[in-house]
Amino acid sequence: MASSEIDFTRTLPADAGAPLIDPFGRTISYLRVSVTDRCDFRCVYCMSEDMTFLPKRDLLTLEELDRLCSVFVGQGVKKLRITGGEPLVRRNIMRFFEGMTRHLESGALEELTVTTNGSQLARHAQHLADCGVKRINVSMDTMNPDKFRHITRWGDLGKVMQGIDAAQAAGLKVKINAVALKDFNEDEIVPMIEWAHGRGMDLTLIEVMPLGEIDEDRSDQFLSLRQVRASLLDRYTLTDLPDRTGGPARYVRIEETGGRLGFITPLTHNFCESCNRVRLTCTGTLYMCLGQEDAADLREPLRASESDEPVARAIQNAIARKPKGHDFVIERARHGDKGNPAVSRHMSVTGG
């Protein structure tokens, strides 16, 4: 079998079933997988313009990714989010989605989903829906085409909009993610709420996090969502909702629009105590926390044996080292420390 082909006959490992529980008693049921570090955009808060991406030979093949994800599913992972870089630019990525469908069909996996910049969505939306994807997150920080080109360095907002149209036409539930950026989209938050809710989409606002070196100073970008929420109260009635998606967002209902608005505030609100996730990179490195450097190599045990046992054991050992939480320092993000981010890798390595 060619290495890029997926063995659809492979089911869960024989020793499946041992749940992943970390030292703080948190059950790990959510795996975020960055299938590529490459991207067709260069969002200014995420990457520098001149990025060096991994050589292709370092990447896990799609078959290896399939095998690794299947081991996680065998160990109790119920939710899989495919991210990147831009996941939809990875060659033949739809074959990977097709492969994961078997775990949805067996009931072992409850949710298969994707976070995308939307640039390639128009051509993949129907296929994603056919693979059992029900909802997706699309990142979009502005509705102004010129500002969009500026923030992504060269992205085409029209294509993203076509992608969102195609996703909704395919029956996918769409959530829009927008990073709240000082002096950039503060004045667009209300129009984006009206637009998203008018189309039946949730909107989630994200605070900038200090990950990876970029060309700009993050102190110029940081906008506190506490401040945003306070200013929205002048206009809207916000009702706190208990809703949880398995993600870190805290939601409110905006009574005037009837839609949901999420806030992801990793710096000002600590949601680590209920953390349920770990992150796998496209090279098979497992990060036990978005905000820490510690990681475990799963590629070596994966390649060392035909049996899934060594890698299953390596995953258990890694979970036993999962830290309590991140050490993001608000002041560092707010006042800047351009040359010294809290975590040296870019967000695109783990996919957020």
Ligand X SMILES: C[S@@+](CC[C@H](N)C(=O)[O-])C[C@H]1O[C@@H](n2cnc3c(N)ncnc32)[C@H](O)[C@@H]1O
Which residues are near ligand X by CB under 6 A? 39, 45-46, 83-84, 86, 115-117, 139, 177, 179, 206, 208-209, 211, 347-348, 351-352
Residue 176 to residues 17, 77, 256, 341, Cα–Cα distance (Å)? 34, 25, 19, 26
For residue 21, the cross-strand partners are: 27
**Six token digits for residue 223:** 């906008």
Q: List the helix and strand counts (H, then E) for the chain.
A: 11, 12
Q: Which of 60, 89, 225, 264 binds ligand GTP (CB under 6 A)?
A: 264
What is the closest distance, in whole angstroms, from the C-beta atom of residue 346 to ligand X in the complex?
Answer: 7
Cα gap 166→158, rounded to integer Å = 12
DSSP-assigned letter for residue 181: B
Closer CB to ligand SF4, residue 39 or residue 311? 39
Q: Which range touches ligand GTP (CB under 6 A), out of 12-20, 143-151, 216-224, 244-252?
A: 244-252
Stretch that binds ligand GTP, among 3-11, 150-158, 240-248, 337-345 (CB under 6 A): 240-248
Total residues interacting with ligand GTP, rule: CB under 6 A: 21
Query: Where are any strands of DSSP class E within the chain?
Result: 30-34, 79-83, 111-116, 135-139, 173-179, 202-206, 238-240, 250-254, 260-264, 277-280, 285-287, 295-297
Distances (CA, A) of 134 to 122, 170, 237, 327: 16, 10, 29, 34
Report how far residue 225's alpha carbon sits from residue 206's, in angstroms, rounded to the nearest whole number. Answer: 8
The helix (run of H) or strand (run of E) holding residue 163 is helix 157-169
Binding-residue pattern over the window 89 to 128 for ligand GTP, x denoting contact by CB under 6 A: --------------------------x-------------
Pick one of ligand GTP, ligand X, ligand SF4, none as the site partner of residue 175 (Cβ within 5 to 8 A by kind). Answer: ligand GTP
Note the residues at the interface with ligand SF4 (CB under 6 A): 39, 41-43, 46-47, 84-86, 117, 139, 248, 271-272, 275, 277, 289-291, 325-326, 348
Residues lying near ligand GTP in the complex (CB under 6 A): 81, 83, 115, 137, 175, 177, 206, 209, 245-249, 264, 266, 275, 277, 290-291, 326, 352
Q: Binding site for GTP: residue ranges? A: 32, 81, 115, 175, 277-279
